[in-house]
Structure 1
Protein backbone atom coordinates (compact mmCIF):
# COMPACT_ATOMS: atom_id res chain seq x y z
CA UNK A 1 0.00 0.00 0.00
CA UNK A 2 2.79 2.40 0.93
CA UNK A 3 4.64 1.85 -2.37
CA UNK A 4 1.50 2.41 -4.45
CA UNK A 5 0.58 5.48 -2.42
CA UNK A 6 4.06 7.01 -2.88
CA UNK A 7 3.92 6.40 -6.63
CA UNK A 8 0.43 7.95 -7.01
CA UNK A 9 1.26 11.00 -4.88
CA UNK A 10 4.63 11.76 -6.53
CA UNK A 11 4.37 10.76 -10.20
CA UNK A 12 0.87 12.02 -11.21
CA UNK A 13 0.64 14.17 -8.03
CA UNK A 14 -2.72 12.87 -6.88
CA UNK A 15 -3.98 12.77 -3.30
CA UNK A 16 -4.81 9.31 -1.92
CA UNK A 17 -7.74 9.07 0.49
CA UNK A 18 -6.44 6.68 3.12
CA UNK A 19 -9.90 5.95 4.56
CA UNK A 20 -11.26 4.60 1.27
CA UNK A 21 -8.06 3.05 -0.08
CA UNK A 22 -6.80 -0.43 0.63
CA UNK A 23 -4.90 -3.28 -0.95
CA UNK A 24 -7.04 -6.41 -0.93
CA UNK A 25 -8.47 -9.15 -3.10
CA UNK A 26 -10.94 -7.82 -5.70
CA UNK A 27 -13.84 -9.88 -4.30
CA UNK A 28 -13.53 -8.21 -0.92
CA UNK A 29 -13.54 -4.60 -2.14
CA UNK A 30 -16.32 -2.34 -3.41
CA UNK A 31 -15.55 0.23 -6.10
CA UNK A 32 -18.18 2.79 -7.17
CA UNK A 33 -21.01 0.42 -6.21
CA UNK A 34 -19.49 -2.60 -7.98
CA UNK A 35 -17.63 -5.62 -6.65
CA UNK A 36 -16.11 -8.71 -8.24
CA UNK A 37 -16.63 -12.46 -8.02
CA UNK A 38 -13.99 -14.82 -6.58
CA UNK A 39 -13.53 -16.91 -9.75
CA UNK A 40 -10.32 -17.37 -11.75
CA UNK A 41 -11.78 -14.94 -14.25
CA UNK A 42 -13.53 -12.43 -11.97
CA UNK A 43 -16.82 -10.96 -13.17
CA UNK A 44 -18.23 -7.58 -12.30
CA UNK A 45 -21.26 -7.66 -10.03
CA UNK A 46 -23.39 -5.14 -8.16
CA UNK A 47 -22.19 -4.64 -4.59
CA UNK A 48 -24.61 -5.79 -1.90
CA UNK A 49 -24.58 -2.34 -0.35
CA UNK A 50 -25.83 -0.82 -3.62
CA UNK A 51 -28.74 -3.27 -3.72
CA UNK A 52 -29.53 -2.52 -0.05
CA UNK A 53 -29.61 1.19 -0.86
CA UNK A 54 -32.04 0.54 -3.75
CA UNK A 55 -34.31 -1.50 -1.43
CA UNK A 56 -34.21 1.23 1.20
CA UNK A 57 -35.15 3.93 -1.32
CA UNK A 58 -38.08 1.93 -2.70
CA UNK A 59 -39.31 1.03 0.80
CA UNK A 60 -39.19 4.69 1.82
CA UNK A 61 -41.37 5.68 -1.14
CA UNK A 62 -44.16 3.27 -0.17
CA UNK A 63 -44.95 5.37 2.91
CA UNK A 64 -45.95 8.28 0.69
CA UNK A 65 -49.58 8.47 -0.40
CA UNK A 66 -49.04 8.73 -4.15
CA UNK A 67 -51.41 7.53 -6.82
CA UNK A 68 -50.25 4.29 -8.40
CA UNK A 69 -49.61 5.96 -11.77
CA UNK A 70 -47.40 8.64 -10.19
CA UNK A 71 -45.61 6.01 -8.07
CA UNK A 72 -44.84 3.94 -11.18
CA UNK A 73 -43.69 7.01 -13.11
CA UNK A 74 -41.23 8.03 -10.37
CA UNK A 75 -40.11 4.44 -9.88
CA UNK A 76 -39.41 4.08 -13.62
CA UNK A 77 -37.30 7.24 -13.63
CA UNK A 78 -35.19 6.05 -10.73
CA UNK A 79 -34.88 2.44 -11.90
CA UNK A 80 -33.94 3.25 -15.48
CA UNK A 81 -31.07 5.46 -14.29
CA UNK A 82 -30.01 2.85 -11.77
CA UNK A 83 -30.12 0.09 -14.38
CA UNK A 84 -28.14 2.15 -16.90
CA UNK A 85 -25.40 2.72 -14.34
CA UNK A 86 -25.19 -0.92 -13.23
CA UNK A 87 -25.56 -2.45 -16.72
CA UNK A 88 -21.80 -3.11 -16.68
CA UNK A 89 -22.37 -5.90 -14.16
CA UNK A 90 -22.55 -9.50 -15.38
CA UNK A 91 -25.54 -10.37 -13.17
CA UNK A 92 -28.82 -10.76 -15.00
CA UNK A 93 -30.15 -12.83 -12.08
CA UNK A 94 -29.91 -9.76 -9.82
CA UNK A 95 -32.09 -7.79 -12.22
CA UNK A 96 -34.63 -10.64 -12.38
CA UNK A 97 -34.83 -10.77 -8.57
CA UNK A 98 -35.17 -7.00 -8.32
CA UNK A 99 -37.99 -7.02 -10.90
CA UNK A 100 -39.86 -9.63 -8.89
CA UNK A 101 -39.28 -7.80 -5.59
CA UNK A 102 -40.44 -4.45 -7.04
CA UNK A 103 -43.67 -5.96 -8.39
CA UNK A 104 -44.32 -7.49 -4.96
CA UNK A 105 -43.76 -4.07 -3.35
CA UNK A 106 -46.29 -2.55 -5.74
CA UNK A 107 -48.82 -5.32 -5.06
CA UNK A 108 -48.45 -4.60 -1.36
CA UNK A 109 -48.99 -0.85 -1.91
CA UNK A 110 -52.10 -1.54 -4.00
CA UNK A 111 -53.48 -3.97 -1.40
CA UNK A 112 -52.85 -1.38 1.32
CA UNK A 113 -54.63 1.31 -0.72
CA UNK A 114 -57.74 -0.84 -1.03
CA UNK A 115 -58.03 -0.82 2.82
CA UNK A 116 -61.54 -2.17 3.48
CA UNK A 117 -62.58 -5.77 2.79
CA UNK A 118 -65.46 -4.62 0.57
CA UNK A 119 -63.06 -2.62 -1.65
CA UNK A 120 -60.63 -5.53 -1.77
CA UNK A 121 -63.45 -7.91 -2.70
CA UNK A 122 -64.76 -5.61 -5.45
CA UNK A 123 -61.32 -5.06 -6.96
CA UNK A 124 -60.46 -8.76 -6.86
CA UNK A 125 -63.72 -9.54 -8.69
CA UNK A 126 -62.82 -6.90 -11.31
CA UNK A 127 -59.48 -8.63 -11.79
CA UNK A 128 -61.23 -11.94 -12.52
CA UNK A 129 -61.02 -13.75 -9.20
CA UNK A 130 -63.87 -16.18 -8.43
CA UNK A 131 -66.23 -14.63 -5.82
CA UNK A 132 -65.57 -17.28 -3.15
CA UNK A 133 -61.79 -16.81 -3.37
CA UNK A 134 -62.15 -13.03 -3.54
CA UNK A 135 -64.22 -13.06 -0.35
CA UNK A 136 -61.74 -15.35 1.38
CA UNK A 137 -58.71 -13.15 0.56
CA UNK A 138 -60.52 -9.85 1.11
CA UNK A 139 -61.27 -10.91 4.69
CA UNK A 140 -57.84 -12.32 5.41
CA UNK A 141 -56.03 -10.96 8.45
CA UNK A 142 -52.59 -11.77 7.13
CA UNK A 143 -50.07 -8.95 6.80
CA UNK A 144 -49.73 -6.83 3.67
CA UNK A 145 -46.30 -8.23 2.74
CA UNK A 146 -47.48 -11.82 3.12
CA UNK A 147 -50.62 -11.27 1.04
CA UNK A 148 -48.61 -9.51 -1.68
CA UNK A 149 -47.09 -12.92 -2.44
CA UNK A 150 -50.40 -14.80 -2.34
CA UNK A 151 -51.36 -16.85 -5.41
CA UNK A 152 -54.44 -14.67 -6.00
CA UNK A 153 -52.57 -11.36 -6.14
CA UNK A 154 -49.57 -12.92 -7.85
CA UNK A 155 -51.76 -14.22 -10.67
CA UNK A 156 -54.10 -11.22 -11.02
CA UNK A 157 -51.44 -8.55 -10.56
CA UNK A 158 -48.68 -10.30 -12.51
CA UNK A 159 -46.13 -9.07 -15.03
CA UNK A 160 -48.67 -8.21 -17.73
CA UNK A 161 -50.75 -6.13 -15.31
CA UNK A 162 -47.75 -4.03 -14.27
CA UNK A 163 -46.41 -3.62 -17.80
CA UNK A 164 -49.90 -2.48 -18.84
CA UNK A 165 -49.80 0.06 -15.99
CA UNK A 166 -46.47 1.36 -17.34
CA UNK A 167 -43.87 -0.32 -15.12
CA UNK A 168 -40.67 -0.93 -17.08
CA UNK A 169 -38.78 -4.16 -16.50
CA UNK A 170 -35.21 -3.92 -15.23
CA UNK A 171 -34.38 -7.24 -16.84
CA UNK A 172 -35.54 -6.08 -20.30
CA UNK A 173 -33.68 -2.79 -19.93
CA UNK A 174 -30.52 -4.65 -18.85
CA UNK A 175 -30.70 -7.04 -21.82
CA UNK A 176 -31.22 -4.10 -24.21
CA UNK A 177 -28.25 -2.21 -22.79
CA UNK A 178 -26.03 -5.33 -22.96
CA UNK A 179 -26.91 -5.83 -26.65
CA UNK A 180 -26.03 -2.23 -27.49
CA UNK A 181 -22.59 -2.39 -25.85
Structure 2
Protein backbone atom coordinates (compact mmCIF):
# COMPACT_ATOMS: atom_id res chain seq x y z
CA UNK A 1 0.00 0.00 0.00
CA UNK A 2 1.25 3.47 -0.88
CA UNK A 3 0.39 6.52 1.16
CA UNK A 4 0.14 9.82 -0.64
CA UNK A 5 0.36 12.01 2.42
CA UNK A 6 1.85 11.86 5.90
CA UNK A 7 1.02 13.77 9.02
CA UNK A 8 3.30 16.00 11.08
CA UNK A 9 5.82 14.25 13.30
CA UNK A 10 8.20 15.16 16.11
CA UNK A 11 11.00 12.93 17.38
CA UNK A 12 12.62 13.88 20.68
CA UNK A 13 16.21 12.95 21.46
CA UNK A 14 18.55 13.61 24.36
CA UNK A 15 21.17 15.47 22.33
CA UNK A 16 21.60 17.28 19.01
CA UNK A 17 24.08 14.63 17.89
CA UNK A 18 21.58 11.89 18.62
CA UNK A 19 18.87 13.83 16.84
CA UNK A 20 20.97 14.21 13.69
CA UNK A 21 21.78 10.52 13.68
CA UNK A 22 18.11 9.63 14.16
CA UNK A 23 17.09 11.90 11.29
CA UNK A 24 19.64 10.30 8.97
CA UNK A 25 18.24 6.86 9.78
CA UNK A 26 14.57 7.64 9.77
CA UNK A 27 14.39 9.52 6.46
CA UNK A 28 15.24 6.48 4.29
CA UNK A 29 12.75 4.39 6.26
CA UNK A 30 9.92 6.88 5.75
CA UNK A 31 10.62 7.39 2.07
CA UNK A 32 11.74 3.91 0.97
CA UNK A 33 9.73 1.65 3.27
CA UNK A 34 6.58 3.69 3.89
CA UNK A 35 6.64 5.38 0.48
CA UNK A 36 5.97 8.79 2.03
CA UNK A 37 7.38 12.05 0.75
CA UNK A 38 9.26 14.10 3.32
CA UNK A 39 9.12 17.88 3.12
CA UNK A 40 12.82 18.66 3.47
CA UNK A 41 12.21 22.40 3.94
CA UNK A 42 10.21 21.75 7.09
CA UNK A 43 12.41 18.91 8.35
CA UNK A 44 14.97 20.13 10.88
CA UNK A 45 16.92 19.41 14.03
CA UNK A 46 16.40 22.04 16.72
CA UNK A 47 15.85 22.59 20.43
CA UNK A 48 12.33 21.74 21.55
CA UNK A 49 11.75 25.20 23.03
CA UNK A 50 12.33 26.77 19.58
CA UNK A 51 9.87 24.55 17.76
CA UNK A 52 6.34 25.53 16.75
CA UNK A 53 4.23 22.46 16.09
CA UNK A 54 0.56 22.65 15.02
CA UNK A 55 0.06 25.74 17.17
CA UNK A 56 1.96 24.37 20.18
CA UNK A 57 5.41 25.13 21.58
CA UNK A 58 7.51 23.53 24.30
CA UNK A 59 9.34 24.63 27.42
CA UNK A 60 11.28 23.10 30.26
CA UNK A 61 10.17 23.09 33.88
CA UNK A 62 12.15 21.35 36.61
CA UNK A 63 14.03 19.35 34.01
CA UNK A 64 10.84 18.18 32.32
CA UNK A 65 9.68 19.17 28.83
CA UNK A 66 6.16 20.53 28.83
CA UNK A 67 3.66 21.75 26.24
CA UNK A 68 2.20 25.22 25.96
CA UNK A 69 0.43 27.27 23.30
CA UNK A 70 2.64 29.12 20.86
CA UNK A 71 2.45 32.95 21.15
CA UNK A 72 1.25 33.19 17.53
CA UNK A 73 -1.67 30.89 18.37
CA UNK A 74 -2.49 33.01 21.43
CA UNK A 75 -2.42 36.18 19.33
CA UNK A 76 -4.71 34.58 16.75
CA UNK A 77 -7.15 33.51 19.46
CA UNK A 78 -7.26 37.00 21.00
CA UNK A 79 -7.82 38.57 17.58
CA UNK A 80 -10.82 36.26 17.07
CA UNK A 81 -12.25 37.07 20.51
CA UNK A 82 -11.77 40.77 19.80
CA UNK A 83 -13.63 40.37 16.52
CA UNK A 84 -16.53 38.54 18.20
CA UNK A 85 -16.76 41.09 21.04
CA UNK A 86 -16.76 44.09 18.74
CA UNK A 87 -19.98 46.09 18.74
CA UNK A 88 -19.42 47.04 15.10
CA UNK A 89 -19.74 43.47 13.79
CA UNK A 90 -23.53 43.73 13.52
CA UNK A 91 -24.29 40.80 15.83
CA UNK A 92 -26.93 40.75 18.53
CA UNK A 93 -25.84 39.64 21.97
CA UNK A 94 -27.46 36.20 21.71
CA UNK A 95 -25.65 35.51 18.45
CA UNK A 96 -22.44 36.92 19.92
CA UNK A 97 -22.68 34.61 22.94
CA UNK A 98 -23.39 31.58 20.74
CA UNK A 99 -20.47 32.26 18.38
CA UNK A 100 -18.13 32.83 21.31
CA UNK A 101 -19.35 29.60 22.89
CA UNK A 102 -18.68 27.57 19.74
CA UNK A 103 -15.27 29.15 19.25
CA UNK A 104 -14.19 28.62 22.87
CA UNK A 105 -15.29 24.99 22.89
CA UNK A 106 -13.43 24.22 19.69
CA UNK A 107 -10.31 26.07 20.80
CA UNK A 108 -10.15 24.39 24.22
CA UNK A 109 -10.76 20.93 22.78
CA UNK A 110 -7.87 21.44 20.37
CA UNK A 111 -5.35 22.90 22.84
CA UNK A 112 -6.44 21.05 26.02
CA UNK A 113 -3.15 19.16 26.41
CA UNK A 114 -1.20 22.42 26.86
CA UNK A 115 -0.42 24.21 30.13
CA UNK A 116 -2.67 27.25 29.94
CA UNK A 117 -4.45 27.87 33.24
CA UNK A 118 -2.98 31.35 33.80
CA UNK A 119 -3.48 32.29 30.15
CA UNK A 120 -7.16 31.39 30.32
CA UNK A 121 -7.69 33.38 33.51
CA UNK A 122 -6.22 36.57 32.06
CA UNK A 123 -8.03 36.02 28.75
CA UNK A 124 -11.36 35.63 30.55
CA UNK A 125 -10.84 38.85 32.52
CA UNK A 126 -10.10 40.73 29.30
CA UNK A 127 -13.01 39.12 27.44
CA UNK A 128 -15.50 39.90 30.22
CA UNK A 129 -14.36 43.52 30.14
CA UNK A 130 -14.92 43.67 26.39
CA UNK A 131 -18.41 42.17 26.76
CA UNK A 132 -19.30 44.72 29.45
CA UNK A 133 -18.11 47.47 27.13
CA UNK A 134 -20.43 46.15 24.41
CA UNK A 135 -23.45 46.39 26.72
CA UNK A 136 -22.43 49.82 28.01
CA UNK A 137 -22.18 51.13 24.45
CA UNK A 138 -25.53 49.60 23.53
CA UNK A 139 -27.29 51.33 26.38
CA UNK A 140 -26.19 54.71 24.89
CA UNK A 141 -28.63 57.14 26.48
CA UNK A 142 -28.26 58.31 30.08
CA UNK A 143 -31.82 57.23 30.87
CA UNK A 144 -31.23 53.75 29.50
CA UNK A 145 -27.97 53.36 31.42
CA UNK A 146 -29.65 54.55 34.60
CA UNK A 147 -32.55 52.13 34.24
CA UNK A 148 -30.36 49.17 33.28
CA UNK A 149 -28.00 49.70 36.20
CA UNK A 150 -30.90 49.91 38.63
CA UNK A 151 -32.48 46.77 37.20
CA UNK A 152 -29.18 44.98 37.78
CA UNK A 153 -29.08 45.90 41.45
CA UNK A 154 -27.16 49.18 41.55
CA UNK A 155 -28.40 51.76 44.06
CA UNK A 156 -30.27 54.68 42.51
CA UNK A 157 -27.66 57.31 43.42
CA UNK A 158 -24.73 55.30 42.09
CA UNK A 159 -26.69 54.31 38.99
CA UNK A 160 -27.39 57.96 38.21
CA UNK A 161 -23.75 58.91 38.86
CA UNK A 162 -22.41 56.30 36.45
CA UNK A 163 -25.11 56.90 33.87
CA UNK A 164 -23.74 60.44 33.61
CA UNK A 165 -20.05 59.53 33.58
CA UNK A 166 -17.82 61.01 30.90
CA UNK A 167 -15.21 58.29 31.22
CA UNK A 168 -14.40 56.30 28.10
CA UNK A 169 -16.28 53.09 27.32
CA UNK A 170 -13.17 51.00 27.91
CA UNK A 171 -12.38 52.64 31.25
CA UNK A 172 -15.96 52.33 32.44
CA UNK A 173 -16.04 48.67 31.47
CA UNK A 174 -13.51 48.01 34.23
CA UNK A 175 -15.38 49.98 36.88
CA UNK A 176 -16.69 48.38 40.11
CA UNK A 177 -20.23 49.30 39.02
CA UNK A 178 -20.16 47.29 35.79
CA UNK A 179 -18.22 44.48 37.47
CA UNK A 180 -21.11 44.22 39.93
CA UNK A 181 -24.06 44.85 37.62
CA UNK A 182 -22.68 42.71 34.79
CA UNK A 183 -20.84 40.28 37.03
CA UNK A 184 -19.56 36.88 35.99
CA UNK A 185 -22.76 35.05 36.92
CA UNK A 186 -24.91 37.62 35.15
CA UNK A 187 -22.88 37.19 31.96
CA UNK A 188 -23.16 33.40 32.25
CA UNK A 189 -26.94 33.73 32.61
CA UNK A 190 -26.90 35.83 29.44
CA UNK A 191 -25.40 32.82 27.66
CA UNK A 192 -21.69 33.63 27.67
CA UNK A 193 -19.17 30.84 28.17
CA UNK A 194 -15.64 31.46 29.42
CA UNK A 195 -12.41 29.67 28.65
CA UNK A 196 -11.55 28.69 32.23
CA UNK A 197 -15.00 27.26 32.95
CA UNK A 198 -15.05 25.07 29.86
CA UNK A 199 -11.42 24.00 30.35
CA UNK A 200 -12.28 22.71 33.84
CA UNK A 201 -15.15 20.71 32.36
CA UNK A 202 -12.94 19.18 29.68
CA UNK A 203 -10.08 18.10 31.94
CA UNK A 204 -12.29 16.98 34.84
| TM-score relative to the length of structure 1 | 0.87
Higher alpha-carbon deviation: 1-10 or 50-59: 1-10
User: Which structure would you say has the larger RCO, counting Cα contacts within 8 Å and 6 or more residues apart?
Assistant: 1
Give 2:52's match in structure 1, choosing from 25, 30, 49: 30
Structure 1 residues 155, 13: CA separation in 2 closer, same or farther (over 3 Å shift)?
same
Q: How does 1:115-134 map to 2 (within 5 A)?
A: 115-134=140-159
- Residue in structure 1 matching 2:77, options 48, 51, 54: 54
1:19 positional shift: 4.8
| Secondary structure of the structure 2 residue equivalent to 1:99 | helix
The separation in 1 between residues aligned to 2:67 and 2:148, in whole angstroms, is: 43
* Secondary structure of the structure 2 residue equivalent to 1:174: helix
Q: CA deviation at 1:105?
A: 1.4
Q: 1:119 to 1:37 in 2, by over 3 A?
A: same
The equivalences for 1:141-160 within 5 A come to 141-160=166-185
Could you list the structure 1 runs, at least 4 aligned residues long, displaced by more than 3 angstroms after superposition.
5-22
Q: Which protein has the larger Cα radius of gyration, Structure 1 or Structure 2?
A: 2
Tell me, which stretches of 5 or more residues in structure 1 are unaligned? none
Structure 2 regions of 5+ residues with no counterpart? 1-18
1:70 maps to what in 2? 95
Q: CA RMSD in A?
A: 2.1
- In structure 2, C-alpha distance between the alignment counterparts of 1:102 and 1:145, rounded to whole Å: 12
Taking the aligned partners of 1:105 and 1:52, their CA distance within structure 2 comes to: 16
Distance in 2, matches of 1:129 and 1:9, equals 69
Residue of structure 2 in register with 1:164 after alignment: 189
Query: Counterpart of 2:60 in 1: which secondary structure?
Result: coil
Larger mean CA deviation between 56-65 and 68-77 belongs to 56-65
- Partner of residue 106, structure 2: 81
